[in-house]
Amino acid sequence: MTSQRYGDAEGAQHSDGTRATRASPTEDRVLGAFIGLAVGDAVGTTLEFRQRDTYAHLNDMIGGGPFNLRPGEWTDDTSMALCLMDSLLACADLDAADLMERFLRWWRNGENSVKGTCFDIGNTTALALLEFERRREPLAGNPNPYAGGNGSIMRLAPVVLRWWRDPSRAMDAARLQSRTTHAASACVEGCAFLTEVLLDAIRTGKKSEALKARRSSDRDIDGVSMGSWRDKRREEIRSSGYVVHTLEAALWSVGRCDTFREAVLCAANLGDDADTVAAVAGQVAGAIWGLSAIPDAWLDRLAWRDDLLKRARALYDKGQSSSSPCLDRTIAPDHWPGLS
């Protein structure tokens, strides 16, 4: 792969298949958080919905899976992250209404879908978008604890690209973007926790700092944030679509590995909601080890790679300039769709 595929990045290829870049260490890690999301999604989709260990374990990005994707193609995790990224590029702050309109265009029209149509969407997200269509209130997420899916942590990285220099605003935006579709406390505070993890990874480039114990105001998230996953065996780790399980599985995978490639494969091979577990692990691993640590062979195959990098760099650049605080100018709906 030539250096031009990274835009301004160039350098000799390492023995592990990654490439040195001219980007600053901070930029490398910021971009790594987003590209890591997309790469993890593309790797994990092969085993999405599969019962653990009923398959040959992955050791590469091969595509296939329930949607019969080509190697490097990705699912709703990356599509929704792109909608969030586009909204943050277009608006001065996180605008919940603009964000929901973009989610709706993805769902109804296939905007930001690698296939041109929406072929994968979670129940909690779909119900929130239906509620938004009906009432036009953008904070449409269901606050019921039983609606605690992983749909808002899987798309989170663009918030950190936008506010990597401003942790307080990043935390506000992380919570607000969650409430558009996922308003359960575990989802909202899970996004806040993951934001802290990513910011510490970007700031230090150290796994120990990113994965250090920290408190959360949500009881279930607090267990994960304090390190409930550290001493668990693989069979004790669950990789379902529940936000707590996804966070625990992703952090467990990163915690036991020393490279981006190992962490993403470890996460994907847990099966079940494999694409999202790997996408979250990819965000964390990318923020720790950087874009330059992602295997070139995977970047070669990544769908829309050049476009993803262009948008990511634009949002990173926007994050270097000052902006007004993330404002919540919306009103939560007084009616919530039924649970599924």
Q: Where does 24-52+73-319 sit in CATH, by number?
A: 1.10.4080.10
Per-residue pLDDT tens over the stretch 40-76? 999 999 999 999 999 999 999 999 999 999 999 999 9
What is the total residue count of the chain? 340
Binned at pLDDT 50, 70 and 90, residue 23 comes out as confident
Per-residue pLDDT tens over the stretch 106-151? 999 999 999 999 999 999 999 999 999 999 999 999 999 999 999 9
- pLDDT for residue 143: 98
- Mean residue pLDDT across the chain: 92
Binned at pLDDT 50, 70 and 90, residue 10 comes out as very low
- pLDDT for residue 18: 61
pTM: 0.90
Token pair of 59, please? 């050791």
- Contacts with 149 (C-beta within 8 Å, 6 or more apart), sequence order: 122, 123, 124, 125, 182, 187, 241, 242, 243
User: Within 13 A of 271's CA, how many CA atoms are on the CB side?
Assistant: 11
Q: Is the pLDDT of residue 340 over 50?
A: no
Domain boundaries, the chain: 24-52+73-319
Start-to-end CA span in the chain (Å): 45
Token pair of 119, please? 């072929």
Q: Name the nearest CA neighbour of 251 among 231, 223, 280, 273.
A: 280
CA-CA distance, 70 to 233, in Å (whole number)?
A: 33
